[in-house]
Amino acid sequence: MSLEIAEKQESGSVPRSRSPSPEGHDVLTLRSLVSSKDAGVIIGRAGKNVADLRDSTGVKAGVSKVIPGVHERVLTVSGSVESVAKAYAMIVDQLIAANAASPVVANAPSSPPSAIRLLISHNLMGSVIGKSGLKIKAIQDSSGARMVASKEMLPQSTERIVEVQGTSEAIGRAIEEIGRALLEDWERGQGTVYFHPGTGDERSGRRPGPPLGRRPNGDGPRGRASPSPHSPSSQPSNLRTQNISIPSDMVGCIIGRNGTKITEIRRLSGSKISIAKEPHDETGERMFTIIGTPEANEKALFLLYNQLESEKERRVGREQLQQEELQD
């Protein structure tokens, strides 16, 4: 019972993960995917472990709520880069100690390497991997950790997994370097659609399988997401609405000449996509509203972010070419 109380307290105090704001550019919020078993170790009896973690490092830390039937939860750690790295190293030590105390693991011929599965925005993966993989190789060489970056975004989100493997010290060093890279390009993380572990059959009608994410702005249909009363069978009943912000200077590349790009994304995904005519706040970003089934929206998000990444790579290449011409 004490563990359940502690979990409720922790989940309620976790700040929502997002890229740091310009005013708090030195604060890193780093999310990771953990098993429910590991989440219990991280929290500890009556929340003792996570309280000790906060006291030792000065970070804010907590774990997402338990969802029945779902065996993964999200750990969120927020603080300075050094504090977050130290906290994750301590968490790895806790997990290693807990596994060593387990008779099954203790009697095994060899224990698997410790690992942390970081959740990184698709838009920020370039900052971690670097051109031709040079950045991720440099992090691995200097930290002694091994890093494996997933190629696909997690369901219903624009986050990908970067698994960091090694000793607690190596993982801590790697996370510190990853954190610095993320803070340097924090703007790219804006508009991230966060992954939330959940059961697919409850939210999207899919067959049970790998955990699916919940829609960030709620679980039920909103506004135009509801079926038309005049044609109840003409639309799926599980429509969802998702909103993402896109920098104004990138909107043109998504729309394309005469709207060809956005028309293609709509056709391939099956989602309805509308674009605000004006920026929605002082950041100058414009809101994209995506309406469709969870599968269609997932495809639309994938296509939108792929288009953004292609445009960013094109612009970087153009800038490098201009610099080379100036040097000549």
What percent of the chain is modeled with pLDDT above 70? 76
In this structure, how many other beta carbons lie within 10 angstroms of the beta carbon of residue 216? 17
What was the pLDDT predicted at 197? 87
Buried b (16+ CB within 10 A) or exposed e, 286-312: bbbbbbbbbbbbbbbbbbbbebbeebe
In this structure, how many other beta carbons lie within 10 angstroms of the beta carbon of residue 326? 7
**pTM beyond 0.85, yes or no:** no
Q: The tokens 């043109």 sit on which residue?
A: 252
- Sign of torsion, CA 211 217 222 225? negative
Residue 46 near residue 3, CB atoms below 8 Å? yes
Rg (CA), the chain: 21
What was the pLDDT predicted at 10? 43
What was the pLDDT predicted at 131? 87
Task: Sort strands 60-63 and 272-275 into parallel, antiparallel or unpaired.
Answer: unpaired
Output the 3-class SS for 241-255: EEEEEEEHHHHHHHH
User: Between these two residues, 224 and 98, which has the higher pLDDT value?
Assistant: 98
Q: What residue type is assigned to position 325 of the chain?
A: E
Tell me the sheet residues that pair with 34: 73
Separation between Cα atoms, residue 276 and residue 248, nearest integer Å: 10
Task: Sort strands 60-63 and 146-149 into parallel, antiparallel or unpaired.
Answer: unpaired
Which distant-in-sequence residues (6+ apart) come within 8 Å of 124 by Cβ? Answer: 19, 182, 185, 188, 189
Separation between Cα atoms, residue 137 and residue 148, nearest integer Å: 11
Q: What is the pLDDT of residues 271-284, one digit of tens each?
A: 999 998 888 766 67
Residue 206 has pLDDT above 50, yes or no: no
- Give residue 212's pLDDT band: very low, low, confident or very high (50, 70, 90): very low
Separation between Cα atoms, residue 238 and residue 260, nearest integer Å: 28
In this structure, how many other beta carbons lie within 10 angstroms of the beta carbon of residue 111? 12
What was the pLDDT predicted at 328? 67
Residue 257 has pLDDT above 60, yes or no: yes
Determine the average pLDDT of the residues in 147-172. Answer: 90
What was the pLDDT predicted at 113? 55
How far, rounded to the nearest angstrom, does the alpha carbon of residue 92 sit from its chain's CA centroid? 20
In this structure, how many other beta carbons lie within 10 angstroms of the beta carbon of residue 15? 11
